[in-house]
């Protein structure tokens, strides 16, 4: 089995460390130590910790639970619920710690890093677009009202989810996610 590249080791270690401790709490030395690579090798692969942070957001978004394989044949609304459920299950397994790395990076760095802010915005926009696609399909299938503004609703669902995730970290319990599911799927989209 070929050895993972030094760059990959750095990215994977940074993803774990940023998610566990936060961007500002991790030094380049912390990341390279966790990766088991010399500190000097960091700058062979990244211009700055900020550039590494942007790559970590891209990587996390690409591997998100939102993209999990689901059973075939789900209705659009059932798929939407299932995708949020996968993410809820991950947060529950982690005992409501860490939250969502995209949301964490946005909250921590949006006022300080244009590079990371742009990557977080791109991730949230792509997630919102996938949500809108499922809402459009649910409208076409007659599952939800055609009068709903699905573009706005898709953004709202992602924003509401990120808020619920933040609250679960604060209260260390599922109540905010339970509220999200009850309001969104039992009231708003029924």
Name the band, by pLDDT with cuts 50, 70 and 90, for residue 92: very high
- How many CB atoms neighbour CB 25 within 10 A? 11
pLDDT digits (tens, 9 = 90+) for 93-151: 999 999 999 999 999 999 999 999 999 999 999 999 999 999 999 999 999 999 999 99
Return the structure tokens found at 158: 């992602």
- Angle at which helices 101-109 and 6-21 pack, to 10 degrees? 80
Cα gap 96→99, rounded to integer Å? 7
Q: What is the mean pLDDT of the chain?
A: 95
Q: pTM value?
A: 0.92
Which whole number is the average pLDDT over 69-89? 95
Cα gap 128→14, rounded to integer Å? 26
Return the structure tokens found at 81: 């619920």
Residue 1 has pLDDT above 60, yes or no: no
Largest CA distance in the chain: 58
């Amino acid at each position: 089995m070929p050895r993972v590249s030094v760059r990959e080791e750095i990215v994977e270690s940074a993803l774990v460390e940023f998610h566990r401790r936060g961007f500002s709490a991790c030094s380049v030395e912390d990341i390279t130590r966790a990766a088991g690579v010399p500190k000097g090798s960091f700058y062979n692969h990244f211009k700055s910790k900020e550039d590494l942070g942007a790559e970590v957001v891209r990587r996390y978004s690409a591997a998100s639970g939102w993209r999990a394989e689901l059973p075939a044949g789900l209705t659009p609304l059932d798929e939407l619920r299932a995708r949020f459920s996968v993410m809820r299950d991950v947060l529950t397994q982690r005992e409501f710690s860490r939250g969502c790395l995209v949301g964490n990076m946005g909250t921590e760095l949006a006022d300080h890093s244009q590079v990371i802010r742009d990557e977080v915005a791109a991730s949230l926009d792509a997630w919102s677009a996938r949500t809108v696609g499922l809402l459009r399909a649910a409208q076409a299938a007659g599952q939800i009202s055609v009068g709903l503004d699905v573009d706005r609703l898709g953004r709202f669902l992602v924003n509401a989810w990120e808020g619920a995730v933040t609250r679960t970290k604060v209260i260390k319990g599922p109540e905010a996610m339970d509220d999200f599911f009850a309001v969104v799927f039992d009231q708003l989209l029924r």
